[in-house]
Amino acid sequence: MEFVIFFITAAIALIGAIAMLVSRNAVHSALFLLLNFSAIAILFLLLRAPFLFAVQLIVYAGAIMVLFLFVVMLLGAERAEDEKDKVAWQRPLAIGLGAALLVEAIFVGFNQLAMEPPTTPEVESFGAPARIGESLFTTYLLPFQITGIILLVAIIGVVVLNQRNRAKA
Amino acid sequence: MVPTSYYVLLSAALFTIGAMGMLVRRNAIVLFMSVELMLNAANLALVAFARQQVNPDGQVLVFFVITVAAAEVAVGLALLVAIFRSKRTTDVDEVSTLRG
């Protein structure tokens, strides 16, 4: 049963990612990316990470995608880009190198990662939100505080970047 | 349970699609989306390995990655709006003033 759910979700994630890559309209790209994020959230749930499932849906599918859609519509950037690249050989080279990277990753994956999932009963509860929270506020307290500062810096940076230069004018 | 290697292979495939998006597309917003896709692929691998080790530390790391990604998107899109205001484009090939 879990295999069936995994393969369906993985297929949705891959389709979402590829459709994001090939769709000409930036709004469609954003919506396909939303599909991909939701599929990854379900995979988190399958991996016994309910806390990250919620965080993925709230932060990625909620906040970040709204930000993307808002900027796409604000800038009117949803129109298709020109077909012609300035560097003519860039696209075929990119596709070739991307395919090489994929083949390499799959090769390494099949050769070295023959991992069986753990069978201990503890695997069902190790990712409980309570344990993550305890870890965040004890072992990882300093990184947790630093992420708070990073978010503060991001807020200040966004405000400064989008200020009109009243002083100069 | 699904073996960890399946998740890692899916993660590798998603990362490759994201990397290809970075190389092929020129709309700066789609480039940002590709970066997000690559971050998500890495997160998936981290969560898979966390389950393999039966250790929640990997999930904590993913939490930090998601937070930093949110900050990155906010600043990046603000930069994009600022560039659009002066250049009237989101095509990264058009933004080449600093090119030697």
Q: Which of residues 55-94 of B touch A (CB under 8 A)?
A: 55-57, 59-60, 62-64, 66-75, 77-82, 84, 90-91, 93
Give the tokens for residue B97.
Answer: 């003033």
Q: How far apart are CA A75 and CA B28, in angstroms?
A: 11
Is B14 in Cβ contact with A14 (below 8 Å)?
A: yes
Q: How far apart are CA A80 and CA A69, in angstroms?
A: 15
Provide the residue type at B18 as one letter: G
Q: How far apart are CA A149 and CA A145, in angstroms?
A: 7
Q: How far apart are CA B40 and CA A60, in angstroms?
A: 9
C-beta atoms surrounding A29 within 10 Å: 25
Mean pLDDT score of chain B: 89
Q: How far apart are CA A131 and CA A48, in angstroms?
A: 13
Query: What class is the B4-87 domain?
Result: mainly alpha
Q: Are B5 and A113 in contact (CB under 8 A)?
A: yes
Q: Which of residues 103-162 of A touch B (CB under 8 A)?
A: 105-106, 109-110, 113-118, 120, 122-123, 126-127, 131-132, 135-136, 139-140, 143-144, 147, 150-151, 153-155, 157-158, 161-162
- Closest to B62 (Cβ–Cβ): which among A52, A118, A153? A52
Cβ-count burial A71-81 (b if 16+ within 10 Å, e if not) = bbeebebbeeb
What ipTM is given for this predicted complex? 0.91
Residue-by-residue pLDDT tens, chain A, 169 positions:
888 999 999 999 999 999 998 888 889 999 999 999 999 999 999 998 999 999 999 998 889 999 999 988 888 766 666 666 667 787 888 888 888 988 888 888 777 666 677 777 777 778 788 989 998 999 999 999 999 999 999 999 999 988 876 665 4
Give the tokens for residue B63.
Answer: 């939490």
What residue segments make up the domains of chain B, in order of their start? 4-87
Report pLDDT for B75.
Answer: 92
Q: Which of residues 27-56 of A touch B (CB under 8 A)?
A: 29-30, 33, 36-37, 40, 43-44, 46-49, 51-52, 55-56
CA angle A13, A23, B29 (to 5 degrees): 90
Give the tokens for residue A93.
Answer: 């080279």
Q: How far apart are CA A73 and CA A89, in angstroms?
A: 31
Task: For residue A114, give Cα distances in angstroms to A20, A125, B5, B28.
Answer: 31, 24, 6, 38
Residue closest to A102 by CA, chosen among B61, B23, B53, B73? B23
